């Protein structure tokens, strides 16, 4: 069943629970700028680059050995936003924007941040295990560090594709390219790196893709693995929101109808109701709709 809905325009602020895609990209960019300013300060102070890596970079990204990693557990989160070079940053942010935009369009904004974090954390765990359990990499494990949004972006790409594999992009090219083909090419590029010394990194990325598939599978079975994270995220950014609604004071009025029955108002199909339902999908996803609301949208879609 393919239904097409027209979304109404809606302005969102940067600091908002309704705009996690912009927030994730902004955090990545800000983190990159801060780290690079610190690196430049080291270089201007006539300090060797290795000193910057030892003093700053190594405390932002996880080390390849379990012992070193456990001593700095905050790197579980910080490494997800740390990029050492500009080109990997640009590549990851472009893919994050493209796949993240599709994911938000298909399921609403609530699943983006959980997928980003779950994909990155699981990718990190797989990366650590591959370095410490595969004999080829054990001797060099101490020299490895993990940084960047590769695994999180792969999780988002896989989730978006699972939700709508036939979604077509670039419509000017033969009617559009199915999303599953774009994602397959993206995954195959990572698979090509499994044969080299970067095996642990590419394995981490593919693990992120696996998390995206499992997340959507669980969602279809009725389990929202990101519910708790969405509530936490919404509550935190709600502290900075300037458009909080104040509860209105209701007043009750009573009239003497003199035994006349009230008029029964039949609900009409209005553009306002369609907009309200589309806003509800945008904020909470399709699963938030009732069966009556879903059938209502289906009728409208069939009539279009």
∠ CA 216-218-219, nearest 5°, is: 60
pLDDT of residue 22: 92
pLDDT of residue 81: 95
pLDDT of residue 268: 47
Give CA–CA dist 278/285, Å, rounded: 9
Among 75-84, 170-179, 281-290, the range scoring the smallest mean pLDDT is 281-290
Residue with token string 């988002």: 156
Instruction: List, for residues 67-124, the tens digit of each pLDDT value.
Output: 888 899 999 999 999 998 899 999 999 999 999 999 988 888 889 999 999 999 999 9
Instruction: List, for residues 10-42, the tens digit of each pLDDT value.
Output: 444 444 456 789 999 999 999 999 999 999 998
Give CA–CA dist 156/177, Å, rounded: 19
Coil, strand or helix: which one is 242? coil
More reliable by pLDDT, 230 or 30: 30
Coil, strand or helix: which one is 145? strand
pLDDT of residue 283: 66
pLDDT of residue 271: 65
Instruction: List, for residues 44-65, the tens digit of each pLDDT value.
Output: 887 787 888 888 999 999 988 8
Domains of the chain: 20-237 (1.20.1540.10), 265-304 (no CATH)
Residue 290: pLDDT over 80: no
Tokens of 209: 């893709």
Residue with token string 């690079």: 36
Start-to-end CA span in the chain (Å) = 15
pTM, full prediction: 0.72
What is the pLDDT of the chain when averaged over all its residues? 80
Q: What is the mean pLDDT of residues 283-303?
A: 71
Q: How many helices (H) and strands (E) does the chain have?
A: 12, 2
Answer whether 93's CB lies under 8 Å from 150's CB.
no
Centre a 10 Å sphere on the Cβ of residue 55 and count the other Cβ atoms it contains: 12
């Amino acid at each position: 069943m393919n239904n097409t809905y027209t979304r109404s325009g809606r302005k969102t602020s940067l600091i908002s629970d309704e705009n996690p895609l912009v927030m994730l990209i902004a955090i990545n960019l800000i983190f990159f700028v801060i780290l690079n300013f610190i690196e430049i300060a080291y270089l201007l102070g006539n300090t060797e680059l290795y000193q910057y890596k030892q003093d700053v970079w190594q405390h932002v990204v996880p080390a390849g050995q379990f012992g070193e990693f456990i001593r700095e557990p905050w790197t579980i989160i910080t490494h997800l936003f740390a990029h050492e070079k500009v080109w990997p940053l640009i590549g990851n942010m472009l893919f994050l924007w493209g796949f993240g935009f599709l994911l938000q369009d298909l399921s609403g904004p609530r699943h983006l941040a959980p997928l980003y974090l779950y994909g990155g954390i699981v990718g990190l765990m797989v990366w650590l295990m591959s370095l410490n359990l595969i004999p080829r990499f054990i001797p060099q494990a101490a020299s490895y560090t993990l940084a960047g949004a590769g695994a999180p972006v792969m999780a988002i790409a896989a989730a978006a594709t699972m939700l709508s594999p036939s979604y077509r992009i670039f419509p000017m090219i033969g009617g559009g390219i199915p999303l599953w083909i774009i994602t397959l090419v993206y995954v195959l590029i990572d698979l090509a790196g499994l044969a080299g010394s970067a095996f642990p990194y590419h394995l981490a990325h593919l693990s992120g893709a696996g998390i995206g598939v499992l997340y959507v599978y669980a969602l279809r079975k009725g389990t929202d693995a990101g519910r708790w994270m969405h509530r936490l995220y919404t509550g935190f950014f709600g502290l900075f929101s300037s458009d909080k609604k104040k509860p209105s004071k209701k007043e009750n009025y009573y009239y003497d109808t003199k035994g006349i029955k009230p008029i029964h108002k039949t609900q009409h199909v209005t553009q306002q109701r369609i907009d309200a339902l589309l806003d509800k999908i945008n904020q909470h996803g399709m699963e938030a709709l009732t069966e009556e609301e879903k059938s209502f949208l289906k009728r409208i879609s069939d009539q279009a």
